[in-house]
Structure formats: C-alpha cells, structure tokens
Amino acid sequence: MDAVTTARPPMSTPPTLARRLNEWGLPLGVVGSVIGFIIGFAVGTHAIPYSFGEDNSLGSDPGILLGYALSVVGFLAGMGFLNYPIGRLLGARRPSEEDNAYMHGEGGGLRRYFRMTTDHKVIGLQYLVMILAFLFIGGLGAMFIRTELLTPSPTVATAQSYLTLVGLHSTLMIFMASAAIIGPFGNYFVPIMIGTRNMAFPRVEALTFWLLPPAGMILLSTVFLGGFTTGWTGYAPLADQNVLGMDSYLIAFALIGLSIGLSGINMIATILTKRAPGMPLSRMPIFVWSVLVTSFLGALAAPALIAAVLMEVFDRSYQTTFFVPAGGGSPYLWENLFWFFGHPEVYIFVVPAFGLVMEMLPVFTRRPLWGYRVAVGGMVGIGLLSFVVWQHHLFVSGLAPSLRPFYMFSTEMISVPTGIIYLVSLGTLWRARTRFTVPMLFIFGFFFNFLIGGFTGVFLSDVPSDFTLHASYFVQAHFHYTIMGGEVFALMAAIVYYLPKMTGRTMDTKLLRFQFWAVFITFNGTFISLISVGILGMPRRVISYAAYLQPLNISASIFAYGLGLSMALFLGILLWEVVIKPRVAASNPWESLGVEWQVPTPVPTFNFDRIPVAWSLPYDYDSGKPAADFGPAVPALSGA
Amino acid sequence: MSDASPTGLTVMEDVEGGGRTLVFTSRIVMAANTTLQLSLLFAYLYLRANNFGAMWHPSGIGTPPQVLALLSVAFPVVTLLALWAVWSAVSKARESNAINGLLWLAILAAVLTGAVRILLMYQFNWELDSAGTYADIATLWYAVLLGEFILVGLWMLSLVMGHVRGNDRLSPAHARAVLDQWAYITGVSIAVYLLVQYVK
C-alpha cells in the first residue's frame, strides 16, 4: 500500500478500429438490434410455428420473443459489449491502461454519453437523463388515464386500449422507479463516498444501464402488437391468453430483472471490497448503507422474477402449462413468484430514498445525523423482513386461512423498522438550525407523504380491512403516496442538491420553491381524492365507474393535470438551467462535509489523485471537521 | 514514494479489490443463483403437491433417459475434479505443464457436459401441452442449468485461452472463482437429477 501519485498516460497511439467503432456505439447498437430482431423473428417464427395467444397476423409468440431477445443481443454487440469477452475467449491480452482510460471516457467529451463507458459518473448521468425521459413518458400516460376517468363511461379509449395504457404507465414507472435513485446517485456517488476510483466491475455497471433503454423501447412497442391487459403485475392466466403485446412486457421485465440483479451484485462487491482505508462499515455514509441493503434485495429478489418470466415465456412459446389450470398449472404460482420479487421491489424504491434523505438532513440542519446505528439497523431490518411478507398480496386470492395471521403479522412487523428510520430521520431535526432550502422543502414533503403512505399501508396489511380495500383505488393511492410521494420527492430533492456536483450547474430557487408548493398541493389533491374513491369502492383498472364517484374523479383529474404541469415545470427548469442557459454553481453550495463535496467540480476522471483516508462519518457539523484526509493538494489529473 | 497520512493509515494509489473482489463476487452470484434455483424448486414442489387436475405427472409420461441423465451429471464432476486440481496447483504457485493438460481436460469435459445435456433434452420427447407440469418444470430446469453450464464454461475457456497463450497467467483467485461456480452448478444439477428422477 505504498503511496504513489501517478498521472495516467496521455492518449498517444492512434485509435484502434474497436475504439473508432465504439465512438458510434449508439447508432451501431440500433443497427445491431434491427438485424438481431429480423434474425430472431425469422428463426422463431419458422422453427417454432406456434402461438399460445390469439391468432395474430403480426407473427407468432416464439418469433416475437426470439426477435426481441436477439435484438437486445444485437444492440449490446453494436454498443461494443461483446468486444472484451470475445477478446478474452480468443486469449487476447488484457486491455492496456490506455485502453482502460479510453473506455473510462477520458477526453471523450459529450460523445461518451452516447456510447459504452466505464466511468461511473458518466453512467450516473446517463441513468438520470434516461429515467427523467421515461418518467415523462409514463407521466403522459397518467394524464391520458385521468382524462379518460373524467367521465363514468368510456369516451376517449376502449376498454382494451385503456388497460394497455394503464399497464404501460404502471410498468414503465415501476421500471424507472427501481433505478431512479441507485441508477443516477448510487452509481455516481457511491464510489466517491467510499473512496475508490471505480466500481468493482465497470463493464457490468455499463451493462446494467444499457439494458434499460432496450427494455423501455421494447415495452413501448407493445402498442404495435395489441398491448397487454394485465397491468404491471402480469397476472396469469390473463397473461397466457393475451395477444403478442404481452411478449413485450415479458422481455422488458426480464431485462429489468437482469439489470437490477447485476447492479445489486456489482454494488455489493464494490462497497464490501473497495472501501478506502479507515472506512469500516461503521463509518460508511448512510446513503451507502441504503444502497448496500437495496443491492442485497435486488440481487436476491430479482432471480425469482426471472424464474417467473421464464415460465411465462415457456408457456407462451413452448406450450408448457405452468400457469394454465387445464394443463395442471396454477395462476397462484405466478402470484407467489412475482410477489416474492415484487414486495422487496417496493423497498428497492424506498430504502435508498430514505438513505438520500438522511444524507441530506445533516447538511441542512447543521447537526450530526441522529441515531446512525439505529437507522442502519432499521434498514437491515426492512431488508430481512421484506422477504417474508409477499403473501399479503394474496390475502384475497384463496390463500390458506391458516397462513393469513403469519403474513399479517410479518407485514405489520415491517412497519417497525420503517417507523424507526422515519423517527430517526426526524430526530435529526430536533432543535436544529434548519436551512429551508429547496431540497429541504422536498424532504419535508417526503416526510408528510410517506406518513400517509405508511398509514394507508397498515390497513392493507390487516386481513379484514384488506378484504374491503383490495384492488380498489385505495391501494393505488397508497402505492403512489409511498413511491411518488416518497421516492420521487426524494429524487427531486437529490437532483436539486447534487446537480451542482454532477454538472457544475444550479437551478433557480425562486421558481423551484413555487414548483415545490405546486407539486406538493396537486399531488396531495390528486391522491387524497383517489383514497376517497377507493374507500367508496371504486376498483382499479376499470374504464367505467358508478356515476356518484364522478365528482371525486373530476377532482383527482384536475389536480393530476396540475401535478403534470408542475412536474413538467421541474423538467423545464432543469433543462433551461443546465443545457439552454447554464447557471454556474458554487463548488460546495450547501457547505457539506461529505467526501463527494470535497473533490473538485467537475469530478476528475478517476475521482482522486490519491485515495483518501476516512477519518469519521461525514456528519460532524458540530465541529465542522472534514470526514477524510485527502493528503497534500495535488492538481486534478483531468477533468470529467 | 511513501506518504503517511495524519491518521497513521497509509495513503494509497487505488483500492484494488483484485482477487478478493473476484472470489467474493463469485459467492454473491451463487447467492443470487440460489434464489433462482429455489424459485424453480418451489414451483416443482408446489405443482407436485397440488397436482391440479391430476396433471402433475399423467400416466404414460416417463422420466428423462437414465443413462444420458447420469452422464449429464458425470461429465461436470470430471470438470470439477480437473478444476480443483488446477486451483490446487495454481494456489501453491506450481508451474507445470500438467496445468495446461488439466485445463484442457476440464474444457473437454465441459463441452461434453453441454453436448450430453442438449442430447438429453432432445430425448425428452414430451408433448409439453399435454405432458403435465412435471415435464414442464423438468424441461425448464434442465434448460436453465444448460444455460448456466454454457456461461461458466465460456468463462473457463476465456481463462484457459489466456493462460495457454501466455497472455494472462491463471491466478489463484480466478481459478478459485471459476471452481466455486462450477462446483455450485454441478451440485445443483446432481440435486435436480435426483429430484426429477426419483421425486416424481
């Protein structure tokens, strides 16, 4: 462990063919995906001339499934993901340091954002842009849904297209929510926070990102294949009976599962084996802890989803009958496997949101994080319990009555560690000199919304009340309170907070304060209305409803339009201040003690000249002591 | 150019997880794979226990051919033994020509594993739409294991090629990681063989 401060070698040799091709990664990826789809479709259609769903002139399930699968392989090949493994299979030398620097994006300018790179900071920004784009598309879907529900009977859509719209909106949002915090902020900041130059497996990190754009596009392509009517849960036997659009859902969900699983494994390896000296687990920033817990959830839960999707793919293409009662299968099998993944998935959304909030709270309260160890214990508790609650989703599905008390108890138990984290977070606010900045406003919004989300969740964990409320708008509103009111509010806080570090730009706080109040009021207006219609008995996923529910639905729709506009305003401000008319930020505008704020902005390509030595947790605002020793000041190696 | 920090800890150029990261990650992958295998086991036992419509294992539906099924677990064991011998030699820093021979033996047995398993699945001869869920889950499970054998086999081949061409000497960590993965899948495949053949 000798100290060596070495400058990376400059790019001296002319670019190789592989590098030249890599510069055109995205267009080549698109070409590769088209070629892959054509080959897969042709082989699948002619080799396995069978389709489980309705007859469809567009093709057969095996053709579509194989076409999609090979289109993803083609896309990745075009992007250059196969170069390294093929080289290794041929026994080629390992990439040189210069090659690695190139792949890291050194000197790559803006183009590196459109190709495969191994720089975790570039990947973090790629995630952020993609997630915002898909959230925008999913949000448009919500606007269409609310427009349709202005009246009790169908007006704009048919029942089939409405269900497809609901399924697209929900699935797209779930996809993006699963990566919304770990994707941009986990990838960007975890290596810096733990004091390493890169992730344990940088190519795998790039892969986890580049699986998502094809997943999103494949999911959206369902509209050309008749859509799917199952919603995001993909319940059998409806999934077996659906037209070809269901195949889009299956392949997209498989890709998301793969991305979540690989990302989790990579994060665990990075956090547990690449921390800087002086940083035992007890000195890790709380956000890193949240990412670690979430990564375990992703790595261990996603394979159950992949197993379920494989069964459904086999049902639809090889005539197996896993979920077909006539053939000996059972739709409950899907429900069990899906929710074994699906419930930990909810905590994949929420735990990192809490991590971010707790990371920001000390900065704006100017006091140490209260109850750090208790908060870590709470996160670990959530992680463990989240694997034994899934059957509460099956309370009304014919679950054996003798099993209900256990799952009711375990589900109610999970509110204990969740409540602990919540209270610990609030403890930091006690007698604090709180700075009411824009991120702090969003944090307060997060607390308020999550409280309602948590309370409404208790009713759904309780068997008698769940029997009344199951599959109603109450569930939908509960879910949106935790995920949108919780995770998305934390996401917006984090964007405003971390934007100066990630881009060197900042956002107009006056407009953002207005935007916060707009989004807070309209969000609550929308979902309190929907809690009400749920209690009054309106089921989810229906295009028609009883006439007496119309006033509340109109209220929800009007607030939803306001919510859509205020979210669009956030995106507009972001676009304006970062891209169109950049507003330059100070290097540490929040006066944070975090390691990530002590490195230069823009962050050097390899983060540090020398690996820092951790001194303490980065929350010692009483003394203002920095959290790490960076050694003598050495000029940055190169700009990011 | 040593430079002690005020903490008394040594400032260093990079945090190189290296071999430790590789072996550790290999075990995390096994943990994730365990969820996948347990999901398939859950499906197997769930469908078997409920026997919906008496369609778990209808009469006339056989089991996989015994000889091929046995071979499909015997060849991975040969690979496993060869890999263990390689790891043992590499970790003791022994340089010998025998390592190359053992590596090629491991590759040969791995190729035979894949070939036999493809042949075995071809020999199932089940009409899956009416063969019951026993046939369904057996087919899927064998397909998943085949995919895993192929993936780890390709990884093994990449290590062997680098080693044989002298571009990348096989490290103990690499040998250990690939050994762990192969041992895990071999163990699962033996368990699946026993389950499918004898717990019908």
**Cα A82 to Cα A28: distance, rounded to the nearest angstrom:** 13
Find where tokens 């964990």 sit.
A461
What gap in Å lies between CA A193 and CA A99, rounded to an integer? Answer: 26
pLDDT, position B91: 87
Looking up residue A435, the CATH number of its domain turns out to be 1.20.210.10
Whether residue A256 sits in one domain with residue A164: yes
Residue A611 has pLDDT above 90, yes or no: no
Check whether A426 has a pLDDT greater than 80: yes
Q: Same structural domain for residues A208 and A59?
A: no
pLDDT at A423 over 80: yes
Give the CA distances from residue A140 to residues A69, A165, A351, A544, in Å, rounded to whole numbers and listed in that order: 28, 10, 27, 21
Q: Considering the entire predicted model, what is its pTM? A: 0.93
Q: How many angstroms away from the CA of B2 is the closest CA of chain A?
A: 5
Measured between alpha carbons, how far is A565 from A134 in angstroms, rounded to an integer? 16
3-state secondary structure of A539: strand
pLDDT given at position A278 = 87
**A165 & A78 share domain:** no
Mean pLDDT of A18-35: 87
pLDDT for position A553: 97
Same domain, yes or no: A111 and A137: no
CB atoms within 10 A of CB A423: 14
Residues whose CB is less than 8 angstroms from the CB of residue A501 and which lie 6 or more positions away in sequence, other chains included: A596, A597, A601, A603
The phi, psi pair for A635, rounded to 5°, reads: -55, 145
pLDDT at A6 over 90: no
Rounded to whole angstroms, the Cα distance separating A303 from B128 reads 24
Least confident span in A216-230, A539-553, A621-635, B72-86: A621-635
A98 shares its domain with A241: no
Contact present, A119 and A603 (Cβ < 8 Å): no
**Residue whose tokens read 């953002």:** A512
Q: In sequence order, what are the residues at sequence separation of 6 or more whose Cβ sits closer than 8 angstroms to the Cβ of residue A577? A: A505, A506, A507, A508, A583
Same domain, A28 and A141: no
Q: Which of B22, B26, B28, B181 to mutate to test the interface with A (most CBs of A within 10 A)?
A: B28
More confident residue, A110 or A266: A266
A632 interfaces chain B, CB cutoff of 8 Å: yes
Residue of A nearest to B21 (CA): A273
Would you place residue B15 in the very low, low, confident or very high pLDDT band (cuts 50, 70, 90)? Answer: low
Confidence of residue B7 (pLDDT cuts 50, 70, 90): very low
At A15, the pLDDT band (50, 70, 90 cuts) reads low
Two tokens, residue A325: 């009662």
| A248, part of any domain | yes
Question: How many angstroms separate the CA atoms of A295 and A488, rounded?
Answer: 19
Three state DSSP letters for chain B: CCCECCCCCECECCCCCHHHHHHHHHHHHHHHHHHHHHHHHHHHHHHHHHCHHHCCCCCCCCCCCHHHHHHHHHHHHHHHHHHHHHHHHHHCCCCCHHHHHHHHHHHHHHHHHHHHHHHHHHHCCCCCCCCCHHHHHHHHHHHHHHHHHHHHHHHHHHHHHHHHCCCCCCCHHHHHHHHHHHHHHHHHHHHHHHHHHHCC
Among A58, A82, A117, the domain boundary falls at: A117
Domain that holds residue A368: 118-629
Check residue B127 and give its pLDDT: 85
H or E element, residue A278: none
- The arithmetic mean of pLDDT across residues A27-54, rounded, is 83
| Phi then psi dihedrals of residue A629, to 5 deg | -100, 120
Query: Please, what sign has the CA dihedral across residues B158, A91, B96, B19?
Result: negative
Q: What is the pLDDT of residues A130-140, one digit of tens each?
A: 999 999 999 99
- Both tokens assigned to B77: 């064991």
Domain count for chain A: 2
CA distance A487 to A271: 23
- Report the DSSP beta bridge partners of residue A539: A472
- Residues in B closer than 8 angstroms to A91, CB to CB, are 158, 161-162, 164-165, 167-168
Q: Around Cβ A457, how many Cβ atoms within 10 Å?
A: 23
A437: region left, alpha or beta (phi > 0 left; psi from -120 to 50 alpha)? beta
Give every CB contact of residue B70 below 8 A, 6+ residues apart in sequence. Answer: B193
Q: Residue A638 falls within a domain, yes or no? A: no
Which residues numbered 6-25 in B keep a CB inside 8 Å of some CB on A? 6-7, 9-15, 17, 20-21, 24-25
Q: How far is A377 from chain B (nearest CA, A)?
A: 21
One domain for residues A148 and A111: no
A319 touches chain B (CB under 8 A): yes
* Same domain, yes or no: A54 and A65: yes
Are both A387 and A359 inside the same structural domain? yes
> Do A414 and A489 fall into the same domain?
yes
Whole-number pLDDT of residue A33: 96
Pairing of strands A628-629, A613-614: antiparallel
Beta carbons of A555 and A532 less than 8 angstroms apart: no
Give the separation between CA A597 and CA A628, rounded to whole angstroms.
11
Q: Does B47 touch chain A (CB under 8 A)?
A: yes
Instruction: Flag whether A184 is in a domain.
Output: yes
Tokens representing residue A20 in the block = 């030249």
Residue A520 bridge partners (DSSP): none
- pLDDT, one tens digit per residue, over A487-544 is 999 999 999 999 999 999 999 889 999 999 999 999 999 999 999 999 999 999 999 9
- Span A138-186, pLDDT tens digits: 999 999 999 999 999 999 899 999 999 999 999 999 998 999 999 999 9
Q: Does A636 map to a domain?
A: no
Over 80: is that where the pLDDT of B6 sits? no
The pLDDT of A48-75, averaged and rounded, is 78
pLDDT at A384: 95
Mean per-residue pLDDT of chain A: 90
List of chain A residues whose C-beta atoms are within 8 Å of the C-beta of residue B13: 2-6, 610-611
Q: Which of A97, A117, A137 is the last residue of a domain?
A: A117
The minimal CB distance from B15 to the residues A6, A611, A632 is found for A611
Nearest to A337, CA basis, from A371, A318, A312, A355: A312
Q: What is the mean pLDDT of residues A301-319?
A: 94
Residue identified by tokens 């015997």 is B74
Given a contact cutoff of 8 angstroms between Cβ atoms, the answer to whether A410 and A388 are in contact is yes
Alpha carbon of B106: minimum distance to chain A alpha carbons (Å): 15
Q: Is residue A420 part of a domain?
A: yes
Tokens of A333: 């099998």
The total of other beta-carbon atoms located within 10 Å of residue B178's CB is 24
CA distance A375 to A292: 13
In 10 A of CB A454, how many CB atoms? 18
Quick one: pLDDT at residue B95?
66
Q: Residues 120 to 139 of B: which have CB under 8 A from any A CB?
A: 127-130, 132-133, 135-137, 139
**Contact list, B126 vs chain A (CB under 8 Å):** none
Out of A67, A87, A117, a domain closes at: A117
pLDDT band at B94 (very low <50, low <70, confident <90, very high): low
Looking up tokens 């540490």 gives A588
The pLDDT of A378-396, averaged and rounded, is: 93
Please check whether residue A480 lies inside any domain of the structure: yes
Instruction: For chains A and B, count residue pairs whose Cβ atoms are closer than 8 Å.
Output: 201
What sign results for the dihedral spanned by CA atoms B11, B12, B14, B16?
A: negative
The reply to whether A577 falls in a domain is yes
Query: Using CB atoms within 10 A of its CB, is residue B67 exposed (0-12), middle (13-18) or buried (19+)?
Result: exposed
A142 and A81, same domain (yes or no): no
Q: Which position has the higher pLDDT, A530 or A99?
A: A530
pLDDT of residue A103: 83
Residue A634 lies in a domain: no
Which residues on A lie below 8 Å from B15 (Cβ)?
195-197, 274-276, 611
Inter-axis angle of helices A61-79 and A212-220, to 10 degrees? 150
User: Mean of the per-residue pLDDT values for chain B?
Assistant: 89
pLDDT-based confidence at B17, cuts 50/70/90?
A: low
Residue from A366, A346, A254 nearest A302 by CA = A254
Neighbours of B78 (CB within 10 A): 17
* Phi, psi dihedral angles at A75 (to 5 degrees): -60, -45
The Cα B166–Cα A594 span in angstroms is 45
pLDDT (0 to 100) of residue A615: 79
Please tell me the distance from the alpha carbon of residue A450 to that of residue A385, in angstroms, as a whole number.
19
Select from A306, A322, A330 the Cβ nearest to the Cβ of B36.
A306
Residue of A nearest to B14 (CA): A611
Environment class of residue A510 by beta-carbon count within 10 Å: exposed (0-12), middle (13-18) or buried (19+)? exposed
A361 shares its domain with A451: yes
Residue type, A287: F
Q: Cβ contacts (< 8 Å) between B31 and chain A: which residues? A: 299-300
Least confident stretch, A216-220, A243-247, B102-106, B125-129: B125-129
